[in-house]
Amino acid sequence: MTKNYELMVVITTKLSEEEASGLNETILSWVKEQGGEIIKTDPWGRRMLAYPINKQTEAYYFLNFLKLETTTVKNVKRQINLNEKVIRHMFIARND
């Protein structure tokens, strides 16, 4: 079953803005490899974190809107978790 999702990705500031954007594109390519569709990407830029994570107080934020099979979300999450440059991420199923 295909659902609409929001994927928020928080990337370390140890990367430049271009490298962070490239990493977000890599994550989106993983979604496409799993048969997903990218609806829209909203880069929020560099922002303060609500609390320090790994001694970092800022990060790059990307909000991605996707269509993806529910069974393949776990595979994309696994790939994201393996990347140390991604501080946090969150999938949210949308009711559109």
pLDDT along the chain (96 residues), means of 10: 94 95 96 94 96 94 95 94 95 87
Find the helix or strand (DSSP H, E) in which 26 lies.
Answer: helix 17-33
Question: What's residue 20's pLDDT?
Answer: 96
Domains of the chain: 2-94 (3.30.70.60)
Question: What's residue 1's pLDDT?
Answer: 87
Please, is 21 exposed, middle or buried when counting C-beta atoms within 10 Å of its C-beta (0-12, 13-18, 19+)?
middle
Question: What's residue 95's pLDDT?
Answer: 84
